Amino acid sequence: MRYLRFEDLSLNPRPRSSSSPRSVELTKIEFDLLELFLHHPRQVLTRDQILDLVWATTSTPDQLPGGLHRYLRRKLEEANEVRLIQTVRGVGYALRTT
């Protein structure tokens, strides 16, 4: 299986593992969210798209934690790495560096 990559982050969808210069422990939802962003780098994803693509089979739409991306960001940025998950105000979120 091929790795999904962006900047210094890589993700192996099968088996489910992530790596950057260090390994990052992710929950199932965090992994699914990161995988979604890696399949759509630099593309702004709306809350509805994220709900449809990540939460469609795992929970109801009202369970989308507004801060889930913040938990994932924290894990990816623990050692002061560049912020990769960017908030696009009024639109959604994107995996990008600027």
Tens-digit pLDDT profile for residues 22-35: 577 888 888 889 99
Assessment of whether the complete model's pTM goes beyond 0.85 = no
- Single out the residue of 20, 21, 40 nearest to residue 86, CA to CA: 40
Beta bridge partners, 19, equal 10, 23
Report the pLDDT value the prediction gives residue 43, as an integer from 0 to 100.
96
Rounded CA-CA distance 71/14 in Å is 23
What's the mean pLDDT in 79-96?
85
Q: Which domains does the chain have, with CATH numbers?
A: 4-95 (1.10.10.10)
| Two tokens, residue 91 | 């639109």
Mean pLDDT of all residues in 34-45: 94
> What digits encode the pLDDT tens for the residues 48-87?
888 888 876 555 554 455 667 788 888 888 765 678 888 8
Sign of the Cα pseudo-torsion (75, 65, 94, 1, in order): positive
Predicted pLDDT of residue 39: 94
